[in-house]
Amino acid sequence: MRLNTDFNSIMPEDVSENSPDNSSRLRVAAPPRQKWTLTQEAFDRLLLSLDSDRDRAGAIYQKTRSKLTRFFEWRGCPFPEDHADETINRVAKRISEGEHIRDLPKYFFGVARLLFLEIQKERARALQALNNLPAAVSSAPDSRAQGLNCLRHCLESISSKQRDFIIGYYEGEKSNKIKNRQRLSERLRIPINTLRMRALRLREQLEGCVENCLNIVA
């Protein structure tokens, strides 16, 4: 049975050449957006780097994508498949630029580890944004430190889905934040206004939790 290795059918929709948005999604800690687009030529060169036989190359591609998905899944990253696709995109970009990679499987996971570090930094920035809860945290250094500790405690008290949701909602800067929220709305299949209200209710819940925590430690 011949394995289908057509570019538009084997690749996920968000990295297809004809997709309206082919950048990576940060999910909820979405990977950093990139301007480079995976083209048919770049995809073909990636497959050729995996194996000279296109069917075998397609099978290796699928196996590699599954392994990368598990890599991000085991590290607690929301939407691990999207991070796997971003990793593959970055490797394909290097190959299309003429970089010779001797150990391609090892290289894939080296790129994945670097991407994971980027995701962690993005999540840290999102947590910092959540830390700006004006009703709960004063500007005094000691109070801010206590507020951060209380916020961490409160984030641990909610479900992992709620935690990923609220971090993803506040993640990013300016236009990237808006695009992240649009993608989050699409992924959850809810209108943007519903998304905003859900985030507001969860934020209010966290603010109340932080206030109670600060009252206890005061």
Read off the pLDDT of residues 177-210 as tens digits, 9 standing for 90 and up: 788 888 888 888 888 888 888 888 888 888 888 8
Considering only residues 191 and 140, tell me which one the structure prediction assigns the higher pLDDT. 191
Same domain (yes/no): 171, 208: yes
27-44 burial, b at 16+ Cβ within 10 Å, e below that, comes to bbbbbebeeeebeeebbb
36-62 per-position pLDDT tens digit: 778 889 899 999 999 999 999 999 999
Q: How many domains does the chain have?
A: 2
Query: Which pLDDT does position 60 carry in this prediction?
Result: 93
- Structural domain including 162 reads 132-217
Tokens at residue 213, please? 């925590």
Same domain (yes/no): 43, 84: yes
- CA 99 to each of CA 4, 61, 90, 111, 151: distance values in angstroms, whole numbers, following the listed order: 27, 19, 12, 14, 45
Please name the residue that has the structure tokens 């997709």.
19
Please name the residue that has the structure tokens 């939407």.
79
Across 170-174, average pLDDT: 72
Average pLDDT, rounded, for the chain? 75
**Could you tell me the pTM of the whole model?**
0.51
Partners of 30 in beta bridges:
26
Gyration radius of the chain over CA positions: 20
Same domain (yes/no): 29, 72: yes
Indicate whether 125 belongs to any domain: no
Other CB atoms within a 10 A radius of the CB of residue 73 amount to 15
Count how many residues are written for the chain.
218
1-29 per-position pLDDT tens digit: 444 445 444 443 333 333 334 333 333 34
Considering only residues 156 and 30, tell me which one the structure prediction assigns the higher pLDDT. 156
Indicate whether 191 belongs to any domain: yes
SS3 of 134, please? coil
Give 143's pLDDT tier (boundaries 50, 70, 90). low
- CA 120 to each of CA 28, 70, 86, 96, 187: distance values in angstroms, whole numbers, following the listed order: 11, 17, 15, 28, 21
Helices (H) and strands (E) in the chain, counts: 9, 2
